Structure 1
Amino acid sequence: MERANIIGLDKQHVWHPYTAMAQYIAETDPLVVVGAEGPYLLDADGRRYLDANSSWWVTTLGHRHPRLVRALTEQAASLAHVSLAGITHEPAARLGAELAAIAPGADRADVPAEQRLSRVFYSDNGSTAVEVAIKMAAQYWAQNGRPRRTRFITLTEAFHGETVGSTSVGGVKVFRDVFGPLLFDVVHVPSPAEEGGWARAFSEVEAALRAHPEEIAGVILEPVIQGAGGMLMYSPDFVRAVREATRAVDTFLIADEVFTGMGRTGARFAVDLAGVVPDLLCLAKALSGGLLPFAVTLASERVFSGFLGEKSRALYYGHSYCGNPLGAAVAREVLAVYRDEDVLGQVVRKAPRIQAAFERMAREIPGLTRPRAVGMVGAVDLGGGGYLANRGWRVYEAARRRGLYLRPLGDTVYIAPPLNIPDAALDVLLAGVEDSLREVAKD
């Protein structure tokens, strides 16, 4: 089909996510992607673009990694789908064991058995992984002697997904305020990335826990990086302090690692940077390497044991495709590629180059503020306009002309490329970002 025909059908029928559709239909000449390989997207005009955000953070091993494609194809030839309700299959069983073996604290002798993240609940995307954790926490307390524990502590500028439950615990106003009447009440505390740092934020977390210990079902965090809120970064010390505070009042810590999990920060999980083990951990995106929607919620033995007994105590929740054989087989191969290709080691080696580049850009280009980097994420701000501002989109256009797909968060320009991006491609990406920022800064 010709490019113009694709765009015509698209603008007539497709409602795009996170897109002002009137402007899109009237003004946007979109990329029409026809293929992808490694860190590159290929468009209908035959042009190649470096995928600077891993297609919304999922392709951490690049597009169409041959081992993942092979695993998908081989699994599809024998068993593509079957319900996981009361039956099982090899890919789901083996993946569960492999995830438990690499979970935070799995290799630590000092972690008690009840605190180990040895139980795996499958779902199909990051939002539902968080929704599962919310329901697990609430139901656990409801049927284990503390039914008043129905509220969660969360951060301003947090993003935890799109379902009503995960939106409720989010803190990005533009994503949640219109749905206010539908959302349940939470305790919002300042982001540890805001002025005053993590100590101020922690003081409010601690105060809320001490004031209402009988009401708090858990604290939910995006450890170290608040992604969609603007790539806000903070010290692992905050995560460690919150873990200690939740232990003091015996409530749960939920780690939303949908973005940070699987090596993005340089550690396998961001909570590993803090040396803590949460009670629940949510994982998606990178887990299936960009091939399929697939997610998990890891739960401690303590949480799992709270659902045993009479049938009424079971977690009556699930999705048609939860734990599907295709996704499980691909996820197992993702874990194998991480091991065989030393992906975490690649991140440790490349991360200093990203940090140095963003710090240099902020020093040398007028108008840039708050350079920051953790692992394979680098970010800088062009102003204080927030998510709906437009300067970042001018950088997007400048980058597109240079062969980069660089999707901003309003006035925040960032990169989160595949973790295994070749060194030469990373150099091209960093140079292109710098040239694009310089172009916009001149105006």
Structure 2
Amino acid sequence: MKASRSHVVRADRAHVWHPYTAADLWENEDPIVVTAAHGSWLVDADGSHLLDGNASWWTKTLGHGHPRLREALAAQARAFDHVAFAGITHEPAALLAEELVALAPAGLSRVFYTDNGSGAIEVAVKIAVQSFLQRGLPAKRRFLSLDGAYHGDTIGAASLGGVDIFRRPFAGVLFECFHAAPGATPEAFAAIERVLRDNADTIAAVFVEPVLQGAEGMRLYAPELLSHLRTLTRELDVLLVCDEVFTGYGRTGPMWASAHAGITPDLMCLGKAFAQVLPMGATLATEALYDTFRGPKEHALLYGHTFAGNPLGAALAREVLAIYRDEDVLGQVAAKSKVVAKAMHEAAKLPLVGSPRALGMMGAVDLAGHASPFEGEASDYLGALGWRVYREARARGAYLRPLGNTVYLCPPLTIPDRDLDRLLAIMLESIEAVTRQNPK
């Protein structure tokens, strides 16, 4: 017998600690209580249906309940569901690695499995530091990332981040990291080059979210910056790490966002859409990096996660790649991205709306605060405007969780045209409703 909706809400409020959620606000919200999900839709226990406007935190690029993923999971579970991955291998993980390498930027040939995207970043940090140590360069143990970067929430990943609200409480325990503005002007290039040249003897790696910074508010930057960084890092013996946890798997158009610049990083981190259904990630590395861990036993990468290489996750991840191929998912993105871009420019015609932007299956606008009755709210990550749009959208049948006062959508890449049209219409209607309201 299923619990009642009220029982679920009561138990949640009494005991659950939700991520990225202000406790006092949550206690006054009527939460969405999901009982089913299919395609682009979430089903609430009250019977309402909501379009999933952020693909469940950017993971469900193939939508909910894909029958092939369910069958892949069930088939693997019938065989075996988990074994240790030290001194053991198995078909799902071994063949997944082979398939990933075939799709990855040329030169990435080794796959280290983790439990999630933050874990994939942590692996990259450790590989970078230890590889230089074993090359006789122990001073190279610092990092550079971009202003506004988000690379995860573990201490190592958060150290690389450039979003102040996520870093501030932990300032005393984060490791040192240089930050530079992600501009494409000659001045911005020169500033990054100056940091790298002045500190090349101590910087191990540069971490970037290629082209699109998600948690910063869906900020785009020019691919030329990636090309510039690739040239500089090669010259200065610094590793380049592409964090494709969000941007990978076709979100920006091509399979990997680094393709916008035509580069191959030294390390590439994957997560989110990687296995769609279960938490799993991976860090891909070049053979040259792998070779630095050969030799004495103490040169081994003495690091790993209990569920690394999990057979269920690996089987799912293999089926994800097969579905991308069989259903021409990237081709679908190419067609639908034009619709998203057009809608964002339409949204920019509304009062208080600015900075329309779109890339692949991401579209975003900012709710501006200047010269408006909402003065002072617009730039706050926890600002109220975005949440007003969220509530309006929910009432109309869509889940559009904002990033502060950035309203965005990142739906499943396979969302049917009619659902995409409806989602975009709800987004625009909800923004318009909020901008008409008297905040008092």
Question: C-alpha distance in 2, partners of 1:426/1:118?
Answer: 37
Q: CA deviation at 1:438?
A: 0.5
Q: Secondary structure at the match of 1:429?
A: helix
Q: Retained in 1: the 8 A contact 2:182–2:225?
A: no
TM-score, with length taken from structure 1 = 0.95
Q: Secondary structure at the match of 1:86?
A: coil
Question: C-alpha distance in 1, partners of 2:269/2:326?
Answer: 24
Q: What is the aligned counterpart of 2:323 among 330, 337, 348?
A: 337
Q: CA deviation at 1:207?
A: 0.7
Q: Does residue 1:179 correspond to 2:170, yes or no?
A: yes
Q: Retained in 2: the 8 A contact 1:198–1:234?
A: no
Q: Retained in 1: the 8 A contact 2:55–2:61?
A: yes
Q: Which residue is equivalent to 2:371? A: none
Give a deviation string over 1:115-141, Cα, whole Å, max 9, x none: x10000000111000000011001101
Q: CA deviation at 1:205?
A: 1.6
4+ aligned runs moved over 6 Å, structure 1: none
5 Å matches for 1:133-282?
A: 133-192=124-183, 197-282=184-269
Give a deviation string over 1:159-217, Cα, whole Å, max 9, x none: 0001110000001111111101111001011133xxxx454433222111111111110
Q: Which residue is equivalent to 1:406? A: 400
Q: CA deviation at 1:386?
A: 2.9
Question: C-alpha distance in 1, partners of 2:84/2:328?
Answer: 34
Question: C-alpha distance in 2, partners of 1:269/1:222?
Answer: 11
Question: C-alpha distance in 2, partners of 1:118/1:413?
Answer: 38
Q: Which residue is equivalent to 2:10? A: 8
Q: Retained in 2: the 8 A contact 1:153–1:205?
A: no
Q: Retained in 1: the 8 A contact 2:113–2:308?
A: yes
Q: Retained in 2: the 8 A contact 1:34–1:44?
A: yes
State the AA in 1 paired with 2:339.
Answer: R
Q: Does residue 1:314 correspond to 2:300, yes or no?
A: yes
Q: Does residue 1:440 correspond to 2:434, yes or no?
A: yes
Task: Say what the alpha-carbon RMSD is for the aligned residues.
Answer: 0.9
Q: Which residue is equivalent to 1:288? A: 275
Q: Does residue 1:379 correspond to 2:364, yes or no?
A: yes
Q: Retained in 2: the 8 A contact 1:399–1:436?
A: yes
Q: Which residue is equivalent to 1:36? A: 37
Q: Secondary structure at the match of 2:131?
A: helix
Question: C-alpha distance in 2, partners of 1:97/1:198?
Answer: 39
Q: Secondary structure at the match of 2:253?
A: coil
Q: Secondary structure at the match of 1:307?
A: coil
Q: Which residue is equivalent to 1:110? A: none
Q: Retained in 1: the 8 A contact 2:114–2:305?
A: yes
Q: CA deviation at 1:22?
A: 2.0
CA change 1:198–1:262 in 2 (3 A) is farther
Give a deviation string over 1:301-326, Cα, whole Å, max 9, x none: 11100100110000000001001000
Q: Which residue is equivalent to 1:84? A: 85
State the AA in 1 paired with 2:123.
Answer: V
Q: Secondary structure at the match of 2:79?
A: coil
TM-score, with length taken from structure 2 = 0.96
Question: C-alpha distance in 1, partners of 2:199/2:117?
Answer: 29
Q: Does residue 1:419 correspond to 2:405, yes or no?
A: no
Q: Secondary structure at the match of 1:253?
A: strand
Q: Which residue is equivalent to 1:47? A: 48
Q: Which residue is equivalent to 1:305? A: 291
Q: CA deviation at 1:390?
A: 1.0
The runs of 5 or more residues in structure 2 that have no matched partner are 369-377
Q: Secondary structure at the match of 2:37?
A: strand
Q: Secondary structure at the match of 2:63?
A: coil
